[in-house]
Chain A
Amino acid sequence: MLYIVYIIAIGSAMILGLILKLPLLPERPMRQSWTTSVIFPTAVLALGFTAMVSKLGYLTSANSNYLIALAIGVLTAIFSKFILERILPRPLQEESPDESQEVSP
């Protein structure tokens, strides 16, 4: 059952994300928030990575599938917590024009 694999991947990613003290959702307004959280993007990344592994043909037997899903979830949570902001850092330039606008008048 492929959907159980997705549920295990999302579940393990979310549980480990909460253990690693990621917030459940980014603070509002979400549109302006750079915070990495459990739902966005950890759960979405877990879904996508599981789909990639599935389509690459690594999900073959039921028993190993569940272990692979668990591993994807764990690795995704670690990726979100420690690596994501290093490869996709927050843009620093966004703040400087606003500050200069505030100062100029």
Chain B
Amino acid sequence: MNEVIGIIIAAVISWLNFVLIDTWMGLPEAPGVKGAEVIGRNIKKRGGDLAGGFFQGNIVCSPDASAGTLLASIGCYLIGTPEGGLIAAVLVFFGNRLCADPGYAGTTGALTITILIALTSYIGLTPIMFIAGMMIAILTIQGLYHPASSKLLGKIAQRMGRYTEIE
């Protein structure tokens, strides 16, 4: 497959993987660690959405599905599919606990993207496309414009019934 098209498809898959899993696991509902709350409130102060801000704070402060997606892609590239992804899932779990975060979003994200990498290898997608794709996916959330991305994440959280009740 053409590398550019592959990276675009991988970016879309990675984006959906980590946003849907993180939202389903309740990242927008509440900050898992103290730093996430600070980031969430700061994003709200700058015109963003609080639930989206908590989501963004949570993925900065501890390994969640975004880190799981990236690390599993790197693991599959370095070690092989699916072993690299499975090893990454274990490392993400330990990373979560070291960050005092009890969640399982990172581990779940690493396992689901490993399955997706294994399945999409049949249409020519490679783990390195997923590494590049995930970098683009996380850039759209964390790197461009926080107020807009947090509002989008807040709307997704509302649709999935995971909007925060914290004021």
Contact = CB atoms under 8 A, between A and B. Distances in A.
Nearest to B34: A97
Contacts of B111: 44, 47
Interface stretch (A16-24, A25-33, A60-68): A25-33
A48 B97 contact: no
B145 interface: no
B80 A44 contact: no
A77 to B, nearest CB: 15
Interface in B21-54: 25-27, 29-30, 32, 34
A1 to B, nearest CB: 14
A57 to B, nearest CB: 12
B102 to A, nearest CB: 5
A48 B104 contact: no
Contact of B83 (A29, A51, A97): A51
Contact of A31 (B25, B80, B94): B25
A44 B107 contact: yes
A102 interface: no
B147 interface: no
A11 interface: no
B87 A31 contact: no
Interface of B: 25-27, 29-30, 32, 34, 79-80, 82-84, 86-87, 89-91, 93-94, 97-98, 100, 102-105, 107, 111
Contact of A40 (B27, B84, B104): B104
B26 to A, nearest CB: 5
A29 B26 contact: yes
B102 A47 contact: no
Most interface-central of A26, A40, A47 (chain B CB within 10 A): A47
Contacts of A97: 34
A48 B85 CA distance: 8
Interface in A66-105: 88, 90-91, 94, 97
Give the 10 A-B CB pairs with smallest separation, nearest first: A48-B90, A51-B86, A51-B83, A88-B97, A91-B100, A31-B26, A31-B103, A34-B102, A47-B86, A40-B104
A13 interface: no
